[in-house]
Amino acid sequence: MAIKRALRLLTDNFTNTFKLLLYRLVMGALFVGLSYFILDLGLRSLLEGPEMQNVIEMIGEFFEALVSGRTGYLETFRENFTAALTELLTAFTADLSSIIGSFAGVVVLYLVFRFLNGMATFAMMSINFDRMSTFGKTSFSAAFFENLGPAVRYHLLYVPLSFVYDVLALALCWFFFFYAPSLMGETTVLTVLVGISLTIALYIVLQAFKMTFISSWMPYAVEHKKVIAGLQDSFTLKGKFLRRFVSFLVAIYLMVVINVVCAFCTLGSLLLISLPASAIYFLWLQLVLYYHENGRKYYLHARKVVGDAETMPVESEIDADLES
């Protein structure tokens, strides 16, 4: 029910997608440009060196072997790739100071731009909250500046916590991918494909866990302007965990399928719309779950108010205005 209603809210308010798209395109262009400048300044010789080229070639050959069914290459890939990474690491340690400086600069830049993107996300959550609670139309600029204080406090906590969690999740998936096929016996195309599938499933489950625990954090912060209290409220999972986890797990898979289909059918062009739409969809889903968990009604559209407190459509003030 929550997944379906979040989709309805997304499609009925789809113009918000283009606002977020424009903001993220500007931020993304700045991030890519500055990151390229930092990496090119400190790592150009290493990135163009034979060790890096060898790693890139091995990744390409891995997918070629997977498609062509060269099981001999797949059986030795883990050992050969580990050796190539060791050589690359040795080359990096020869110029450690510039590497540390470049990577630290990119990480800091990434956190800064993630923080700035998060400010827009918080504003979008405020716009969606107003839409559900009063069916009001709040401009992006008004929502951005009115929520500046809570948004800054929220993302000063969320960005580093989420970054650490995501790094640990990727590290776990990395080791799982390299060791899962070996646990299945002989390395074949099938075992490698199963390993890739299980690794993707593991990452999605980990992301669903993260979203389950922080589901009501941003909605609470938007409504009450209290960030720490919102985090405490979000971690109060008694009677909420299963509904949240299943909703986010199914929703993530749904968005993955939609984006993959969009990328395949339009050669990636539709991702410009589907990716920000997916981000906004998860905001709607958080709000729907937040309203249901608190037993509150909300506007699904102009003529329908729903919620756990009243499952059937009820007449709203907007209905009376439309009929008069």
pLDDT digits (tens, 9 = 90+) for 309-322: 444 333 333 333 33
pLDDT digits (tens, 9 = 90+) for 44-76: 767 777 888 888 888 888 888 887 777 777 778
Q: What is the pLDDT of residue 221?
A: 95
What averages of pLDDT result for each successive group of 10 residues across the chain (324 residues)?
Answer: 90 90 90 83 72 85 81 79 84 73 85 93 95 90 93 95 94 85 68 85 95 94 93 84 93 95 90 92 95 89 70 37 36
Residues 14 and 132: their CA atoms lie apart, in Å, by 14
- Structure tokens given for 242: 């299963």
**Tokens 């640990």 belong to which residue?**
168
307 strand-pairing partners: 297, 310
298 strand-pairing partners: 306
Instruction: Please choose, from the candidates 201, 226, 204, 214, the residue with its C-alpha nearest in 3D space to the C-alpha of residue 289.
Output: 214
Residues 208 and 95: their CA atoms lie apart, in Å, by 39
Q: What is the pLDDT of residue 309?
A: 45
Q: What is the pLDDT of residue 314?
A: 35
